[in-house]
Amino acid sequence: MDFAEAGRRGKDVRSDCWVRIEPKAGGVRLTLNSKVEAMFGKAIRKLIREELAFFDVKDARVTVEDSGALPFVMMARIEAAVKRLNPKEKREYLPELLDSAKQPTSRDRFRRSRLYLPGNEPKFMLNAGIHKPDAVILDLEDSVAPAVKDEALIMVRNALRQIDFMGVERMVRINQLPRGLDELDPLVAANAHMILIPKCEDPEMVRDVDARIGKAIGVRRNASGAMRPLLMPIIESCLGVFNALEIARASKNVAALTIGLEDYTADLGTQRTLEAKESFWARSRVVNAARAAGVQPIDTVFSDINDMDGLRQSVLEAKGMGYEGKGCIHPRQIETIHQAFAPADAEIERAKKIVLAYRNAEARGLGVVALGAKMIDPPVVKRALRTVDLAIRTGQLAPDWDAGAGEGAK
Amino acid sequence: MRLVRNALDRLVPSEVNGKPQVPFQGVSQHHPKGRKAAPRIPSCIDYPEDGDKLVPDLKSALRKAGIRSGMTISTHHHFRDGDLLAPQLFDACAELGLKDLVWFPSAAFPCHKPLIAHLESGVIHHIEGSLNGPLGDYCTDGRMRGLGLLRSHGGRWQAIQDGEVHIDVAVIAAPAADMFGNANGVLGPSACGSLNFALADSMYAEKVIVATDNLMPFPCVPWQIQGNNVDVVVELDRIGDPAKIVSGTTQITKSPDRLYVAELVAKFIRDSGIMRDGFSFQAGAGGTSLAFAVYLREMMKQANVKARFIRAGSNKYLVEMLEQGLTDFILDGQTFDLDGVRSMRDNPRHIATSPFTSYNFSGKGNFASQVDVAVLGATEVDTSFNANVVTHSDGRLLHGIGGWQNCLYGRCVVLALPAFRDRIPVIVDRVTTVCGPGELIDVVITERGICINPLRQDLLDAVKGKGLPVKPIEQLKAEVDRLCGKPEKARLGDKPVAAVKWVDGTVIDTIWQVLRR
């Protein structure tokens, strides 16, 4: 190739940059046009030269048009251009993995809201954490055009390493297999908390992803202590719906199961409607499969950002069916989702009673939990514990709500 | 020109354009003395008994006003970026062969770019007023003869009233006027709201010209400008485009991050106890400081709380609050959209204020210090809470001061800002230009947390345990520096190109020439 380009430029581009590398004898000749030249000109030139030296680019004309890219963004764009120029280049120019990126996740955390962020758009990622979704999804699949998949992977890798998402769970949606398999190594090394497997219709797909992650962990474990990401298969086809239970059970690392209705309704040969009657059976089957396998059932994305009432209704319906989470594409949807998933007062009151009865039974070494004359089964206890946790998180219940009640139990 | 260090340790010129200056002495340390300035005593026998002061065109008006080279001419920014008068005016001056004029606008906008040609040709010597856009670059590149002098709206009144600036000819664009010179901004096809930025000029200038595109029979009421102060009236085809009043800084932001900041501001006002029955607030220009009012409105409804007054740049949202009974009054310095214009015209509780009533330091009090909370923007804040509102971090003039400095006297001053813009940190070690001393700035609210000035222990106590993301400003700065990297110092020369006045007429900081790379 005569030259390679990566990144984005133009009047409306912000927090990003565009890079062009053209091999030419006579050393590296750098042309930089940056809107932050006065404040960061020297730092940017240093970064570019160091990275080019790392990749052994010694003779080239290099042009960078910078619209205020943060260093990790610029690093990603340069690396993408270098790799387009030389597809054999496999080395990675890695920014530091922040301490905040090393926090582990857990199977049981709340996943009420997950905010989709296009993987090739750094400006939306920078402040995503402040909106406090339960999770962000750095997306490599449908929101990334085929021509820039390579750039997006490097960008997502760098974002995972360098952005403080403020305690929000860090998910990545990889591309459909087999491409998605080749994306896993850098994501695992960057401590992605959860991998979403799109168009999952066969348990074998889950096992393939799991095996590849296992290999990556094996290689990395000693070096960086990378943690093993959890899995969330996305059911998006009729076959997937039929195989939902096997998919959910395919690996012990599957922690949640979700459904994608855009592709599912297309596969079904119909249109997606607001009432969603056409997908009722599929959503029922997926929620049942998830519960049967002991993983979280998570509902599809609500994509009309102007219809807050529709979103609220949709979440209430999902909650009524047994789902615990909803996808969203704009920060302003998050609070509505959390409100709709918040337990009702009566729900909390009942859960408090059950939790106290459960503790009381435990304290007395009783095998059976009873509330009045009524026996409470273990799944009901588990659900009540979850409701109390959620109520504390939403601020509906004080963390020390049981401070006085504990005395009575003694 | 000698440079001296002022109370904020900034080097400032001891004289500007031949006039001696007092360096900033500290907040509330300087007392201007002496008597107010005044124009010569006019006599009604020198004016037509039938009240008809009309002349056929701008050149005749300027001749009648006795214009000469070297004089100071003022215009006003009621149309903001839609002003069509100043370019016509200086074209006329050029045709009259005038040189070395001083332009003393109440604010300049990108629409004034054509005036650069008049600066280059020598018609205009220099500008005393806010400089931004192309004029800002012209000044910071060091191309303007004479120094720019930036003042707040209140500071402009103070300078006129106290005699620091003597206006030879004031030219007032009026959406409605009669032949006697009574004028207002609420009637006619170019209605823009109030004309009160021109009020001081009409009272203190030696000669006053009213230029209108909407001449009506005597009397033109309400007379925001009194014809008894006016020398000449001229009718023009166009004076301004009111649709362009709505500039970028006067629209509600759509950015989720900025809306988050706006909501945080509203929560702070609620949870700190400032939001209570009978309170007052000021909403400024700039997306976030406008948007917080939208959130506050909902919180006020929920808590069944009503404000006594809102100090504003009014807009659709504040007008709705007035109409829904959520505030008794809007005390309005400047209408920011056409809903504001309509409301000011039709609603007796929507009051036009002037820099005299709202802001003037050399007065017997003002409204700004009676406001419970003022929410403002800024380009930079440092860890001592000093803030900059006029220059970009590279030293270029970016914005005017507007009423910003004056509003710092409010009981609680909140700056609502992004923590960084693209890669540019907003929280810095030392602001490029100090426009407001940190001791007057109480709270900085960004998407990455709320920083309360340690001088305001009462506010720190008030929000304790309320679940707001309060953190020390040093911590926020460290967070932003980690993201953006540490910026280089702006490359500034040692030549002052403009000075920034504090509200009392002292010089608070200097704008230096920006060196090209």
DSSP B366-426: -SGGG-SEEEE--SEEETT--EESSB-TTS-B----TTHHHHTTSSSEEEE--SEETTEES
Is A293 found in the same domain as A195?
yes
pLDDT at A1 over 90: no
Is B282 found in the same domain as B392?
yes
Interface of A with B (CB under 8 A): 14-15, 35-43, 67-71, 126-127, 130-131, 164, 330-332, 395
Q: What are phi and psi of B513, to 5 degrees?
A: -60, 135
C-alpha B266/C-alpha B294 separation (Å) is 9
Within an 8 Å CB–CB cutoff, is residue B237 touching chain A? no
What Å distances lie between residue A277 and A240, A271, A307, A328, CA to CA?
18, 10, 19, 21
The span from the first CA to the last CA of chain B, in angstroms, equals 26
Chain A closest CA to B166's CA: distance in Å? 38
What Å distances lie between residue B177 and B60, B107, B351, CA to CA?
18, 22, 20
Q: Residue B258: give the domain boundaries.
A: 248-490
Residue B420's DSSP bridge partners are B425
Q: Do A127 and B421 touch (CB under 8 A)?
A: no
Is A314 found in the same domain as A403?
no
Whether residue A197 contacts residue A205, with contact meaning beta carbons closer than 8 Å, is answered with yes
What Å distances lie between residue B393 and A155, B11, B389, B431, B471, CA to CA?
28, 18, 10, 8, 24
Is B183 found in the same domain as B261?
no
Mean pLDDT for the stretch of residues A187-199: 96
Token pair of A251 as six digits: 């690996």
The reply to whether A93 falls in a domain is: no
pLDDT computed for residue A201 by the predictor: 96
Distance of CA A408 to the CA centre of its chain: 43
* pLDDT tens per residue across span A233-292: 999 999 999 999 999 999 999 999 999 999 999 999 999 888 889 999 999 999 999 999
Is B217 found in the same domain as B346?
no
pLDDT at A226 over 70: no
pLDDT computed for residue B246 by the predictor: 63
* pLDDT tens per residue across span B207-265: 999 999 999 999 999 999 999 999 999 999 999 988 887 654 556 777 889 899 999 99
The reply to whether B450 falls in a domain is: yes
The reply to whether B12 falls in a domain is: no
Give the global pTM.
0.91
C-alpha A168/C-alpha A162 separation (Å) is 14
pLDDT at A223 over 70: no
Q: Do B490 and A38 touch (CB under 8 A)?
A: yes
CATH number of the domain at B81, please. Answer: 3.40.1080.10
Which of B399, B393, B450 shows the shortest CA–CA distance to B426? B393
DSSP string, A70-109: -HHHHHHHHHHHHHHH-TT-----PPP--GGGG----TTS
Q: What is the ipTM of this complex?
A: 0.85
The reply to whether B157 falls in a domain is: no
Mean pLDDT for the stretch of residues A300-309: 91
Q: Which range (A189-193, A382-386, B93-97) has the least confidence?
A: A382-386
Of A40, A67, A330, the CB nearest to B485: A40
Q: Residue A66: give the domain boundaries.
A: 4-85
Is A365 found in the same domain as A267?
no
Specify the pairing of strand A296-302 against strand A325-328. parallel
Within an 8 Å CB–CB cutoff, is residue B47 touching chain A? no
pLDDT at A358 over 70: yes
Is A315 found in the same domain as A356?
no
- Chain A residues lying within 8 Å of B257, measured CB to CB: 127, 130
DSSP B247: -
Q: Do A70 and B483 touch (CB under 8 A)?
A: yes
Mean pLDDT of all residues belonging to chain A? 92
Which of A121, A253, A231 shows the shortest CA–CA distance to A187? A231
Nearest CA in chain A to B394: A38
C-alpha B292/C-alpha B98 separation (Å) is 48
Q: Do A36 and B490 touch (CB under 8 A)?
A: no
The reply to whether B503 falls in a domain is: no
Whether residue A316 contacts residue A115, with contact meaning beta carbons closer than 8 Å, is answered with no
C-alpha A200/C-alpha B13 separation (Å) is 71
How many domains are there within chain B?
Answer: 2
CATH number of the domain at A26, please. Answer: 3.30.230.10
Of A69, A130, A164, the CB nearest to B260: A130
The reply to whether A90 falls in a domain is: no
**Interface size, chain A vs chain B, as Cβ–Cβ contacts under 8 Å:** 61
Whether residue B69 contacts residue B100, with contact meaning beta carbons closer than 8 Å, is answered with yes
How many domains are there within chain A?
Answer: 3
Chain A closest CA to B394's CA: distance in Å? 6
- Percentage above 90 pLDDT, chain A: 78
Chain B closest CA to A155's CA: distance in Å? 16
* pLDDT tens per residue across span A34-81: 999 999 999 999 999 999 999 999 999 999 999 999 999 999 999 999
pLDDT computed for residue B428 by the predictor: 94
Is A169 found in the same domain as A309?
yes
Q: Do B393 and A39 touch (CB under 8 A)?
A: yes
DSSP B250: G
| Predicted confidence pLDDT, tens digits, chain B (517 residues) | 799 999 999 999 999 999 999 999 999 999 988 999 999 999 999 999 999 999 999 999 999 999 999 999 999 999 888 999 999 999 999 999 999 999 999 999 999 999 999 999 999 999 999 888 899 999 999 999 999 999 999 999 999 999 999 999 999 999 999 999 999 999 999 998 899 999 999 999 999 999 999 999 999 999 999 999 999 999 999 999 888 876 545 567 778 898 999 999 999 999 999 999 999 999 866 677 778 998 999 999 999 999 999 998 888 889 999 999 999 999 999 888 888 889 999 999 999 999 999 999 999 999 999 999 999 999 999 999 999 999 998 899 988 999 999 999 999 999 999 999 989 999 999 999 999 999 999 999 999 999 999 999 999 999 999 999 999 999 999 999 999 998 988 888 999 999 999 999 999 999 999 987 5
- Chain A residues lying within 8 Å of B484, measured CB to CB: 40, 70
